[in-house]
Amino acid sequence: MSSFRRRLGAVQRRVRMARVIAKAIKSRQHPILAQMVPMRRCNLSCSYCNEFDKTSAPVPTDEMLARIDKLADLGTSLVDLSGGEPLLHPDVDILIKRIRARGMMAGLLTNGYLLSPDRIRRLNRAGLDRLQISIDNVVPDDVSVKSLKVLDRKLQALAEIATFDVNINTVVGNGIGQPGDALIIAQRAKALGFGTSVGVIHDASGQIVPLDPDRQRVHASISQLGRGFYSHAHDHVFQKNLIAGRANEWQCRAGARYLYICEDGLVHWCSQQRGTPGIPLAQYGPADLEREYQSEKSCAPHCTVSCVHRVSLLDEIRAAPIQTLARMSTPGIAAAGSQPPASVRLLTWMFVTSRHHQTFRRLATRAFRLAR
């Protein structure tokens, strides 16, 4: 794969993602992101994880295809295959192709162990848009074997072969043995040309465990690595409170803008709140989306589930764009002297600080039909 074709593919994905964002801002009546579990079984057994077992069979392919079609009928923009370990499903390539054929962007959340040059090429051919690997430490320990030492050759293969976007997620938390590991992993990801994100480790119900000062400094250092719009926005709107153990005031849109579909085909708020609402996807409709869009979630103030934060952030931008941009551009958790990404600085100038900001606001209101 030539570097030109790889860059062209990346540009095309940016255009498609811009359309996803524009659609989300224009209308709130469809899911933005759905995560589906085609395989609950996992080839690893990290001690902190509550999202796997060792016995489940793959969800039948025909059933998965029907669920993908249902998500498309609901107007879903992005579908991620999760687990367990989704690469254990024998027909994962067929599932990715169906997601793309129905006009949705296709993502994959994997521990990375099953990636090989041939497996990466097959994902390329299937049309995968983005892949995320969470790496917990530099060397394996009793908590997790998802380590940089084990996975670095897989990362090099991705850098050389993958035509899809790759994001490396790290975690910071008081249960992680070496707090500096997350920064080393994020720096390696950046050196390979990957995106990076950082999560705060949660308890069994997805709730926050406040970080000690050393881990707060590590988190701030990672936030300074020149990450993109979404990671910066997430840090400033949500994580700056969470790492200090403070509650966030926000409206969780899980069950409406974000759907978690388990291996049994039921819709849940998220992976940490399985059982609610617990309605079969096949029966899920506009009334369910509207109910969950409006519903108050008692778990929201201290929630650490970043994918739910990020889709809800689009509705914050939709409802209060100027105030949300102002929150993104104020000093947050990054190290002193760091700046927001260029995209945040540009948008802040256009809509907040520029002497022409009223003109930009009127144009945006017309473009996205935000007028009340």
Q: Per-10-residue mean pLDDT for the chain, 372 residues long?
A: 77 92 90 98 88 94 98 98 97 98 98 98 98 94 92 97 95 76 95 89 62 85 73 74 86 97 97 95 98 95 89 87 74 54 73 80 63 34
Q: What's the pLDDT score for residue 345?
A: 73
Q: Give the C-alpha separation, 236 to 312, whole Å.
A: 14
Q: Give the C-alpha separation, 56 to 40, whole Å.
A: 6
Tell the residue number behind the tokens 């025909």, with chain if given. 62
Residue 335 DSSP class: P
Closest CA to 259 of 57, 51, 42, 76: 76
Q: What's the pLDDT score for residue 336?
A: 46
Q: Give the C-alpha separation, 76 to 37, whole Å.
A: 16
Cβ contact 97:103 at 8 Å:
no
Residue 139 DSSP class: S
Distances (CA, A) of 231 to 20, 99, 168, 313: 17, 25, 12, 11
Q: What's the pLDDT score for residue 108?
A: 98
Q: Give the C-alpha separation, 95 to 366, whole Å.
A: 38
SS (H, E, C) 286-334: HHHHHHHHHCCCCCHHHECCHHHHHHHHHHHHHHCHHHHHHHHHCCCCC
Q: How many helices (H) and strands (E) does the chain have?
A: 14, 9
Amino acid, single-letter form, for residue 20: V
Amino acid, single-letter form, for residue 19: R
Q: Give the C-alpha separation, 83 to 258, whole Å.
A: 16
Note if the bond before 228 is cis, omega within 30 degrees: no
Cβ contact 335:341 at 8 Å:
no
Burial class (CB in 10 A: 0-12, 13-18, 19+), 362: exposed
Which phi and psi (to 5°) does residue 78 adopt?
-130, 140
Q: What's the pLDDT score for residue 347?
A: 73
Q: What's the pLDDT score for residue 117?
A: 98
Q: Give the C-alpha separation, 4 to 8, whole Å.
A: 6
Q: Give the C-alpha separation, 97 to 170, whole Å.
A: 28
Cβ contact 44:111 at 8 Å:
yes
SS (H, E, C) 202-251: ECCCCEECCCCHHHHHHHHHHHCCCCCHHHHHHHHHHHHHHCCCCCCCCC
CATH fold of the domain at 3-341: TIM Barrel (3.20.20)
Strand order in the sheet with 258-261: 195-200, 165-172, 130-134, 105-110, 78-81, 33-36, 258-261, 266-268, 277-280
Q: What's the pLDDT score for residue 371?
A: 35
* In the chain, domain spans: 3-341
Instruction: Write out the DSSP string of 158-181.
Output: HHHH--SEEEEEEEE-TTSS-TTH
Instruction: Write out the DSSP string of 28-75.
Output: -SS-SEEEE-S--B-S---TT--S-BSSPPPPPHHHHHHHHHHHHHTT
213-223 vs 181-191: helix axis angle to the nearest 10? 10
